[in-house]
Amino acid sequence: MTRRSLREQATSAQVHAPASASTPRAGEPRRGVGGMLGDVVLWIAALGGVVCIVLVVLALTAQITLIMFSTGSMSPTIPAGSVAVVQRVPASDIRVGDVVTVDRVDELPITHRITSVSEGASAEERVITMRGDANASDDPFPYTVTSVRTVLFAVPGIATLIVAMGDPVVLGGITVAAALLVVWAFWPRSPASRRTMGSS
């Protein structure tokens, strides 16, 4: 047997050898759009869970919370419908020009810009006047505070979404959808389906 015939036999064996199981075949179905969409939704849900955990940790450790603006008294700096991230700080740390939220007894908190700060009855106490950026004059009365929530930053237009998320119907729908998504993601698949997904 000559060298030429040996080379021809080797080439013929390679041509007729069956394709490897790990090599994708032409025309094999790839993972469907539903599978990819499910992955995206799972990632979004996971990200939302992480954000909620981070917010809880920040609220407990750094006293960082959220407030919503239902009026436009701080426009255009913070328009109505915005959500602000605020942090509670001692009154001794505040300065003129800071935007802060003051808690009021039997009334809703108010968030305006500080226009003056003076000493209070104790070292921890301050008496402040405030004014909304959209207002022509200061608030009618000064506020005596030992701590305030200072605005770190605000995101316009998402207050409506957060309010809707607190609706029992919306919460129930989200819970049911999340449960169905988890069941779908971990539901046992047939061997043929697993082979199809593995070959894609």
| Domain assignment of residue 126, given as a range | 64-160
In a domain, 188, yes or no: no
Cα separation, 26 vs 85, in Å, equals 53
On whether residue 122 sits in a domain, the answer given is: yes
In a domain, 152, yes or no: yes
Which DSSP helix (H) or strand (E) runs through 6? Answer: helix 3-16
54 belongs to a structural domain: no
Q: Answer whether 0.85 is exceeded by the pTM.
A: no
CA distances from 37 to 24, 40, 43, 49, 135 (A): 23, 5, 10, 18, 48
Q: Identity (one letter) of the amino acid at 109? A: P
| Amino acid in position 39 | D
* 123 lies in some domain: yes
93: Cβ contacts below 8 Å, ≥ 6 apart: 150
Is 22 a domain residue?
Answer: no
CATH of the domain at 155: 2.10.109.10
Specify the number of domains making up the chain: 1
How many other CB atoms sit within 10 Å of the CB of residue 166? Answer: 8
Tens-digit pLDDT string for the chain (200 aa): 565 665 556 566 555 555 444 444 544 445 566 667 767 767 776 776 777 777 677 767 778 888 999 899 999 999 999 999 999 999 999 999 999 999 998 899 999 999 999 999 999 999 999 999 999 999 999 999 999 999 999 999 887 777 666 666 666 676 777 677 767 666 776 655 555 555 55
Q: Is residue 27 domain-resident?
A: no
